[in-house]
Amino acid sequence: MSTFNRLNQVYADSKLVSINDNSRIIIFSDCHRGDFGWADDFAKNQNIFLHALSYYYHDDFTYIELGDGDELWKNRSFVDIFSAHRPVYEMISRFYHEDRFYMLFGNHDIQRSIPGYVKSTLYSYLDERTMQSRPLFPDIVVHAGLIIKHEPSQQELFLVHGHQGDLLSDVAWPIGRFFVRSLWRNLQLFGLNDPTSAAKNFTVARRVDKKLIHWSLENKKMILAGHTHRPRFPTLDQVPYINAGSAVSPFAITGIEIRHGQIAMVQWCVRPDFAGTLRIVRDVMQGPQPLDAWRF
């Protein structure tokens, strides 16, 4: 099935989330949390990410994770990933227990499209200190897509990871996982990148962007994705396809904020102040723009 038709299918099945001008949402994509080994791309930004989540939690934001939150292609066991990044999961769990968290699956955590896998790995965890089961995300539903509807303007924003329709990322994902787990994971030691990956190959990323732009233009709807790891915030004369970027860029993470009925791209990074002390800071990179600022 083509990307266009797969996106139509996901859109038709997506949960509708209504928001207003008082709503606050932060969207991060492509965290790729690993086991803290040499192939864990998230490890270098874990503290930045945790600080950003704490900021959004205390400022009453809803957190949406746009897919590839965990690196389940390189790593066989979610337990190892959870153990490596437990403080992050504990913070996300706080969002979830206050009904302020939505999780989407991408290609690297596509196993979460299987309800039985979600139940066995995400509902609870074994606390090794007490040897008792404790709730993590009980009864969570992991989505393929979400539709955010801004009620005052009636503007819709379609959220999806962006891998839909790709042969090795979507249709034949077990084969894609096999190559990543058995081949490319080891070749990373020698500095070689996966040529099929949208995050590692500029040509593949451009092809993904073109397909998402085509869907947005044909359906006359805003779309927000991840997958390519390349942040994108269109000008008002461009097709409204936005990309959240990733949490695994060197020394920084990017995300999309929605508040006061406006949308903006933000970056969190480590920067020295005038005294030379390193601090985690938030920068607004592009926007904000009203959600209904783009016209077809």
Segment 209-230 mean pLDDT = 94
Per-residue pLDDT tens over the stretch 232-263: 999 999 999 999 999 999 889 999 999 999 99
Q: Is 279 exposed, middle or buried (0-12, 13-18, 19+ CB in 10 A)?
A: exposed
Give the homologous superfamily in CATH for domain 3-290.
Answer: Metallo-dependent phosphatases (3.60.21.10)
Segments making up each domain of the chain, as ranges: 3-290
170-198 pLDDT, tens digit per residue, is 555 556 565 565 656 555 555 555 544 55
Sign of the alpha-carbon torsion through 135, 141, 145, 147: negative
Where would I find the H helices in the chain? 3-13, 46-58, 78-84, 86-97, 115-122, 173-179, 185-187, 202-219
Closest CA to 59 of 28, 16, 22, 90: 22
pLDDT tens-digit map of 104-125: 999 999 999 999 999 999 999 8
Tell me what pLDDT residue 261 has: 96
